[in-house]
Amino acid sequence: MNADYEGEMMATFVALEKKHDISGRVRQFIDASVRYHGFPAPGVILGAYMVDLALEKLGAEPGDRLFAVAETAKCVSDSIGVITGCTPGSSKFLLFNTGRIALAVGRDDGTGIARCVRAYVVCERTRSYPALRAWYFNEPDAKGNLPALLEDILVAGRGILGWERVDVPIPPKDDQWKPAICASCGEMVPDKMLVGDRCRACSAGSCYMEKK
Amino acid sequence: MNADYEGEMMATFVALEKKHDISGRVRQFIDASVRYHGFPAPGVILGAYMVDLALEKLGAEPGDRLFAVAETAKCVSDSIGVITGCTPGSSKFLLFNTGRIALAVGRDDGTGIARCVRAYVVCERTRSYPALRAWYFNEPDAKGNLPALLEDILVAGRGILGWERVDVPIPPKDDQWKPAICASCGEMVPDKMLVGDRCRACSAGSCYMEKK
């Protein structure tokens, strides 16, 4: 994707929001999510609808003390972070990667268990939205007509979502570690992250290319 | 942590920024990161300094087409996302969890390889900052005096950081999958995420508590 394409999609998206009179709290949630993500990706818009539904069923507001679970590493975590404050870099967030397009938001009341509402896509309900369904099922060229896909998502809104109550034990903060120094790069890593006497980047399989 | 404590720390932090005359671009980066994270956590402030350093050495601005790597799942990913737009839910972000307090930011020029600047903490340079050093080495009660820790971080700034150039092959988008339906919950998951005929949540080890 290039910047021109992103700009064009943004203009298309804003026009669609107007056309379908998307307003109120969910509009704020959608716009904040898209702004943070940088692009009107289907997943962040859907994510905003899911967070909105979960908060409503929970009777909660974004400023409340919350805990959240994302069930996919894609897109929806951006909506969760920017709307609820349960950011991926905080202890209020858990990535439980099932691959389902789903999330859960609950209150953290200090008991160690978050009483959450989980929002998810109900397969059957996508039938009425062909472009959305094609994207959901990862059909070839599903993103070929992004305007149609974005329109389907805005028209469907929470109409394709289901919800249920779930309880999530909040993982304890991972602060039980001692400092260790990588024998190769000399940087500090938590001892339990060492592979032998080296950090993961210096032992095997760095994401950085070897220097020639 | 409760809301009162967070509010108190926020006030302390704002006063420290003023006392040490933190200003310019890095101040904007710090404030945006703290606002997004919801709390002046040491890691997000350090993250803001690291992103600032990387962008400067790269000669880049937040609006440029960038790609970023976080080397820890904690805190710094929040700074990266909110400053650079390389959000954890986007394909512009890679979590390469080495446990090192480090990140890399580079230009995505369409070649498939991001030419990055990696910013990291230089162990030796933390010596001059006792509270920061105690936190960095995860000493017991290192967070007991959070004001001293925050002050050390603001005074140290990029003084404890090193940087180097690294190249990162940008991972291809993970869009090669076929839809599968979990035999238990009936939700759609990418086929390769199935464990047998079930999704991860329905097979073993869900993050959700079993319903009685």
As for the ipTM of the complex, it is 0.92
Choose from A187, A195, A197, A198 for mutation: most chain B CBs within 10 A: A187
Q: Residue B189 above 90 pLDDT? A: yes
Contact residues, B window 117-156, toward A, CB-based 8 Å cutoff: 118, 120-121, 123, 136-138
Other Cβ atoms less than 10 A from the Cβ of B191: the count is 13
> Which residue of B69, B77, B175 is in closest CB contact with A88?
B77
Q: What would the pLDDT profile of A78-90 be if each residue is shown by its tens digit?
A: 999 999 999 999 9
Q: Residue A50 above 90 pLDDT? A: yes
Q: Residue B204 above 80 pLDDT? A: no
Q: Residue A155 above 90 pLDDT? A: yes
Q: Residue B2 above 70 pLDDT? A: no
Q: Is residue A149 very low, low, confident or very high in pLDDT (cuts 50, 70, 90)?
A: very high
Average pLDDT over residues B145-149: 93
Q: Is residue B142 very low, low, confident or very high in pLDDT (cuts 50, 70, 90)?
A: confident
Angle between helices A3-19 and A146-156 (to 10 degrees): 40
> What pLDDT is stored for residue B205 in this prediction?
82
Q: Encode B72-100: b = buried (16+ Cβ within 10 Å), e = exposed.
A: bbbbbbbbbbbbbbbbbbbbbbbbbebbb
Average pLDDT over residues B60-76: 94
Q: Is residue A68 very low, low, confident or very high in pLDDT (cuts 50, 70, 90)?
A: very high
Contacts of A85 in chain B (CB under 8 A): 38
Instruction: Provide the mean pLDDT of chain A.
Output: 94
Cβ distance B48 to B33 under 8 Å? yes
> Which residue of A76, A179, A186 is in closest CB contact with B137?
A179
* CA pair distance B34, B19, nearest whole angstrom: 18
> What pLDDT is stored for residue A105 in this prediction?
98
Q: Is residue B144 very low, low, confident or very high in pLDDT (cuts 50, 70, 90)?
A: confident
* CA pair distance B193, A101, nearest whole angstrom: 12
Average pLDDT over residues B36-59: 97
Q: What would the pLDDT profile of A104-131 be if each residue is shown by its tens digit?
A: 999 999 999 999 999 999 999 999 999 9
Contacts of B1 in chain A (CB under 8 A): none
Contacts of A38 in chain B (CB under 8 A): 85, 87, 90
Q: Say yes or no for a CB contact (<8 Å) between B167 and A208.
A: yes
Contacts of A97 in chain B (CB under 8 A): 193, 200
Per-residue tokens: B187:
């939700």
Task: Give the chain A residue whose CA is nearest to the CA of B72.
Answer: A89
User: Which range, of A68-77, A146-155, A171-180, B151-160, averages the lowest pLDDT?
Assistant: A171-180
